[in-house]
Structure 1
Amino acid sequence: MATNLILGVVLLLCLAAVAWPFLFYPLILRALPTVAEAPVEGPKPSASLLFCAYNEAAAMPEKLANLAMLRARHPELAILAFDDGSSDGTGDLIAAQDDMVTLVRGPGRSGKAYGMKQLAARARGDVLIFTDANVLLDADAIDNLLARYADPQVGGVLGSLHYIGAEDSATASVGSLYWRIEEKLKDEESRTGNVLGADGSIFSIRRSLYPDFPDSVLDDLTVSMAVVFAGKRLVKAKDVIARERLVTARKDEYRRKVRIAARAWHTHAHLRPQLRRMAALDRFKYASRKIVRWFGGLFILLGAVAAGALAMRLSPALYLAGALGAALVIWIGVRAKSGPFAALVDVMIAYAATLQGVAKAMTGRTFTVWNPAQSR
């Protein structure tokens, strides 16, 4: 009886841990008071927009057209790009627009973190705006972003990423749903003080806060967290909108999540001394939205083992029925291109990829370079 109780408790704890970032954590955030930004008006700061590219020739015409639109609205906006040794002519396409974009060519494959550091060292704007080569910004994104810096306590501003192509596959659908949840969490974190980290699609910081860091970390997380460590606010602007096409193939998404998770863990190790000095609320946010998720695959595995052991102790027939049912769901999900079973498989794949990435990082494996997904 005692063993059954222990297995039941383990199962419930694992279920709670998996649900924590998506259910319990948001409920806690909603109960916290709002931390208002100071209603300050003043001139908008100068800015430099930075992005890195590797073999993005297919995306460059649309990207360059988007940059031309932004430059027309903001003639003073400096735009800098880093080409990480592209072999498809990406660098040449950017270089052809040298009146609009300052191109820095890398020595070969060096990685995004290295490239962004090169660009940040050359930038001269008061605010550094970071984006990705395959991301498009809405026309008023720069205006709305820079307006938030009127508050001197604001040290960094994130935008909102809207994904395109959610209907193209189950993988894209799950990715879109996950990201909508992520965006809402960031909104609540911003309302209650600080967002705990940015992604690379669209974010910015005051140039004076830009930190130094190794090439093995996630530069977007490292750079954005420097704002929090400096005692400034890292906030999210809903009206600063970036758009990106979703990855539709499972193998592309799996590789991407392994790489990101490994770099995230190296980032965590690099930032650990500063993370420990954060305010208690920020430490709670960081643990809830990042650490608990990184080990979600482990919680699922432990929960499945506990559920199986409990079912076997209660009734071997119940265990057999559960195992066959799970195998059938996975088989249908793997073969399906859409629907709830396919979505469930994609969720499991995402957790497995994240756990694998963290495990690789713990053994010392680093990922400094990247390849664009072919299924965008």
Structure 2
Amino acid sequence: MEAPDLLLGAILLLCVAGLLWPFLIYPLILRLLPSRPEAPGGGAPPSASLLFCAYNEAAAMPEKLANLAMLKERHPELEILAFDDGSSDDTAALIEARGDLVTLVRGPGRSGKARGMKRLAAIARGDVLIFTDANVMLDPEAVGNLLARYGDPDVGGVLGSLHYVGEGESATASVGSLYWRIEERLKDEESRTGNVLGADGSIFSIRRALYPQFPDSVLDDLTVSMAVVFAGKRLVKARDVIARERLVTGRGDEYRRKVRIAARAWHTHAYLRPQLRRMAAIDRFKYASRKIVRWFGGLFLMAGAVAALLLAMRISPWLALGGVLLAVVLLILGWRAKGGPLAAIVDILIAYAATLQGVVKAMSGRTVTVWNPAKSR
């Protein structure tokens, strides 16, 4: 085999390894690591404040408020705070009508979730701050099970488990559900072996004393949850703290959502870099494996495709042409399909493209501070 062939083969293998690393190789490594058990809890659970931000969530508010009323009935001492980010629908009015249940803070206009959460955290009185989203519903036992984990003084933050609803409504929803099931298992293993490396906004909590200061441009979920690790406390996941959210079913909505999240995540990574470098070696390994490698999955995919094409051309130009034509036909069929494996493959490729676009956008100095609810949710 000639040197160019060896080089192209090495590039292809490296790209395949990069694509498989966060979903196959990294989980296998985690399973080999020893467990780090939590200390048994004791005493009365800490007080808590539940915080969420909303923008044009009027459609979700009746169910959300009913869910909050159920939680309040089970935990009368639970403080509930909401921030409205200048909604143009009836979101604020619906929340305000339940002033007996929720304390509403109105923003001056579109200022973004990070600023809204900071305002709520500044007035919250609970020892533990519980963060969730306006369209997320919590199971009845969620708050009690979450607060019980704080019986271990080394635990500084607790994540819940997100269960998606509407998995079979589209190929986009099915791929999103599969991705999230993998993500949940990774967090379970990370928690078992020490720390989870970052939370999403559906359901997580931290001790109020650990809440950090940060700019409005970062991803607040990642920034706030990582403050626990930076403080030398444990960030763990509780399987019995269950939140439920409806999946995004439209490709356009999901693409824009992933671009926004990736852009803010990379901007947050740049902001947190000095503290990330000071983490323990195992936590740096986890962070790089679950986040950085995945953010560049689209680059691995493109480089691997080019290497495979060049290898095929060196064997036979006709082989390369046939491969390209077959790939184009399969992509067209997958794009038009309403479901099935080809549609799923297209949605996976779209997800990689959106994430890479978001990272490149952030690297160029641009980020996103506001959000819009997905219409296809």
TM-score by length of 2: 0.99
Asked if the contact 2:335/2:343 (under 8 Å) is kept, the reply is yes
Matches for 1:208-357 after TM superposition, within 5 Å: 208-357=209-358
- Give the equivalent residue in structure 1 for 2:372: 371
Letter in 1 for 2:12: L
Asked if the contact 2:52/2:131 (under 8 Å) is kept, the reply is yes
Looking at structure 1, the residues matched to 330 and 53 of structure 2 have their Cα atoms a distance apart, in angstroms, of 41
- Give the equivalent residue in structure 1 for 2:22: 21
Matches for 1:63-212 after TM superposition, within 5 Å: 63-212=64-213
The one-character-per-residue Cα deviations of 1:32-86 (angstroms, maximum 9, x if unpaired) are 0000000131110000000000000000000000000000000000000000000
The secondary structure found in structure 1 opposite 2:25 is helix
The secondary structure found in structure 1 opposite 2:245 is strand
Letter in 2 for 1:70: L
The secondary structure found in structure 2 opposite 1:373 is coil
List, as ranges, runs of 4+ consecutive aligned residues in structure 1 with deviation greater than 4 Å: none
- Give the equivalent residue in structure 1 for 2:12: 11
Looking at structure 2, the residues matched to 164 and 174 of structure 1 have their Cα atoms a distance apart, in angstroms, of 13
CA RMSD of aligned residues (A): 0.4
The secondary structure found in structure 2 opposite 1:161 is strand
The secondary structure found in structure 2 opposite 1:265 is helix
Looking at structure 1, the residues matched to 357 and 349 of structure 2 have their Cα atoms a distance apart, in angstroms, of 12
| C-alpha displacement of 1:338 | 0.3
Looking at structure 2, the residues matched to 293 and 7 of structure 1 have their Cα atoms a distance apart, in angstroms, of 22
Looking at structure 2, the residues matched to 232 and 9 of structure 1 have their Cα atoms a distance apart, in angstroms, of 41
Looking at structure 2, the residues matched to 163 and 216 of structure 1 have their Cα atoms a distance apart, in angstroms, of 27
Asked if the contact 2:167/2:173 (under 8 Å) is kept, the reply is yes
Looking at structure 2, the residues matched to 40 and 307 of structure 1 have their Cα atoms a distance apart, in angstroms, of 54
Looking at structure 2, the residues matched to 323 and 147 of structure 1 have their Cα atoms a distance apart, in angstroms, of 56
Q: Structure 2: any 5+ residue segments left out of the alignment?
A: none
The one-character-per-residue Cα deviations of 1:302-356 (angstroms, maximum 9, x if unpaired) are 0000000110011111101110111011000110110000000000000000000
Looking at structure 1, the residues matched to 5 and 29 of structure 2 have their Cα atoms a distance apart, in angstroms, of 31
The secondary structure found in structure 2 opposite 1:326 is helix
Looking at structure 1, the residues matched to 183 and 41 of structure 2 have their Cα atoms a distance apart, in angstroms, of 29
Looking at structure 2, the residues matched to 235 and 127 of structure 1 have their Cα atoms a distance apart, in angstroms, of 14
Letter in 2 for 1:374: K
Looking at structure 1, the residues matched to 272 and 52 of structure 2 have their Cα atoms a distance apart, in angstroms, of 23
Looking at structure 2, the residues matched to 47 and 305 of structure 1 have their Cα atoms a distance apart, in angstroms, of 53
The secondary structure found in structure 1 opposite 2:164 is strand
Q: Structure 1: any 5+ residue segments left out of the alignment?
A: none
Looking at structure 1, the residues matched to 275 and 216 of structure 2 have their Cα atoms a distance apart, in angstroms, of 18
The secondary structure found in structure 1 opposite 2:301 is helix
Asked if the contact 2:41/2:148 (under 8 Å) is kept, the reply is no
Letter in 1 for 2:105: V
The one-character-per-residue Cα deviations of 1:270-321 (angstroms, maximum 9, x if unpaired) are 1000000000000000000000000000000000000001100111111011
The secondary structure found in structure 2 opposite 1:187 is helix
Letter in 2 for 1:136: M
The secondary structure found in structure 1 opposite 2:307 is helix
TM-score by length of 1: 1.00
Looking at structure 2, the residues matched to 366 and 317 of structure 1 have their Cα atoms a distance apart, in angstroms, of 44
